[in-house]
Amino acid sequence: MQKFIITGGCRLSGELTLQGSKNSALPIMAAALLGEGESVLRNCPTLTDVYSASRILSCLGCKCSISDGNAVIDPCGASGSEIPEELMREMRSSIMFMGAILGRTGECTFSVPGGCELGPRPIDMHLAALRKLGADISDCGGRIHCRIAGGRARGAKINLPFPSVGATENIILCAVCAEGETIVNNAAREPEICDLCSFLRKRGADIKGDGESTIVISGTDKLHGCEHTVMPDRIAGATYLSMVAAAGGEIILKNTCTAEMEPFLSVLEQTGCRIYPAENRIYLRSGARLRAVRDRIRTMPHPGFPTDAQAVLMAALATADGASVFEENIFDCRYRHTAALCKMGADIEVLGKVAVVRGVPKLRGADVEATDLRGGAAMAAAALAAEGTTCLSGISHIDRGYEKFEEAVSSLGGRIRRV
Ligand code: EPU
């Protein structure tokens, strides 16, 4: 089991080019399974989750190769409809292949990935929506079998009870090849959904309204190949900015999706960091001690404050002047990083969905273990700000979502080693 050894206490400084978005690349890879023709994805991040997605595609009969930040996917001849349990377990987001497989073959068998990383992650909304599109769904000993009579989904009106990102993506993936029109009300508005739709439109799909609450999809049986550049990763961006905010110093972040990062940037700015955003780059300088954020930081679906940035911002606010209050409204169990931050000297009190972070003058290095992706990144950010050395284990979580993490941190002058 690999670890990061991080010695904190030095200012960070440098330029960083942001990686492609994990949460955009994964559904786009699933979408490449539909129709015919080769999809070339540029700016595809090199991450363990992307390799897991590639293994799922290969297992379904797709040709998929990844090198130098490009993924090339050819679905010609892909007739598989089953995802083996071990591949489902590799990556929780394997669930988003369900809509695409169903769209392609009219049939799909998979298992629900277990575990409790961020609390229970049910798939009831995914299944209810696929039923509306014509799927019969049965559960046999944990293996879920979906089948559409006649092989082709039928358009439907779907009202989501909550704007779930994954459910919205699964509906789009299944409806894009359906017969007729699908209307999704209360759809998720995350930028990664827009990136998925923009990829599918390049392939010939007819989708309108993405980025808004109602998405209208007119099904087609003709999707062709295309080239697409995966959007920048706004959460990796939030992570590196929080890291520099926490440790002090300056950064020029390049290849950003600045407008999409606004809900995060507007909160970070309240800490007193100087932020100069341009269209596709962000300059941040962090000098004296950060200020606590006065208003409650409520995680909400986009365009609210992103849940994925909650942990990394908390690491920065752990040493701010005053108390900041977080309210986690998306996941039930997304404060697991707080125990590690407290071990490093932070003063954080968790009461249900609320976490009160009272800034302390200094953090100190400790032995801590990442229990999830963003929580692990938060521990690394805290370690860079802390006095002394931190031994961070469980870093396979970090490798799921951050491309060449230690190279990125080292390029800013952070002292980090993988052992
Ligand atoms: N939910 C249900 N039933 C469902 C689906 C979701 O109750 O059928 C609940 C979930 O349990 C959760 C809430 O709805 O409490 C939101 O879940 P959502 O479906 O929106 O999230 P997701 O699709 O599972 C994606 C990202 C997450 C990100 C969330 C919220 C990917 C691969 N994952 O997850 O990213 O936190 O949206 O923005 O896109 C991460 O990158 O670290 C990460 C966890």
Catalytic residue among 10, 76, 108, 116: 116
At residue 349, the 3 state secondary structure works out as: strand
Q: What gap in Å lies between CA 241 and CA 316, rounded to an integer?
A: 10
Q: What gap in Å lies between CA 404 and CA 50, rounded to an integer?
A: 13
Find the 254 Cα to ligand 1 centroid distance in Å.
27
- Two tokens, residue 155: 């358009």
DSSP assignment of 191-248 equals HHHHHHHHHHHHTT-EEE-BTBS-EEEE--S----EEEEPPB-HHHHHHHHHHHHHH-
Q: What is the pLDDT of residue 348?
A: 98
Q: What gap in Å lies between CA 183 and CA 185, rounded to an integer?
A: 6
Find the 165 Cα to ligand 1 centroid distance in Å.
6
Mutate to test the pocket of ligand 1, among 48, 98, 121 (most ligand atoms within 8 A of CB): 121
Between residues 85 and 163, which one has the greater pLDDT?
163
Q: What gap in Å lies between CA 193 and CA 189, rounded to an integer?
A: 7
Q: 3-19+232-418 domain in CATH 3.65.10.10?
A: yes
The dihedral of CA 319, 320, 324, 329: what is its sign?
negative
253-275 as b/e: b if 16+ CB within 10 A: bebbbbebbebbbebbeebbbeb
Q: Report pTM.
A: 0.97
Angle, alpha carbons 164-170-175 (nearest 5°): 125
What number is the average pLDDT over the span 247-274? Answer: 98
The dihedral of CA 190, 191, 195, 197: what is its sign?
positive
Find the 125 Cα to ligand 1 centroid distance in Å.
11
CATH 3.65.10.10 residue spans of the chain: 3-19+232-418, 22-229
Please name the amino acid found at residue 239.
Answer: T
Q: What is the pLDDT of residues 283-310, one digit of tens each?
A: 999 998 999 999 999 999 999 999 999 9
Fold of 22-229: UDP-n-acetylglucosamine1-carboxyvinyl-transferase; Chain (3.65.10)
Q: What is the pLDDT of residue 359?
A: 98
Q: What is the pLDDT of residue 116?
A: 55
Q: What is the pLDDT of residue 77?
A: 87
What number is the average pLDDT over the span 80-95? Answer: 89
Smallest CA separation from ligand 1 atom 17, residue: 164
Residue ranges of alpha helices (H) inside 20-94 are 22-31, 48-59, 85-90
Give the number of the atom of ligand 1 that is nearest the alpha carbon of residue 121. Answer: 11
Does position 113 have pLDDT exceeding 80, yes or no? Answer: no
- Residue 116 a catalytic site member: yes
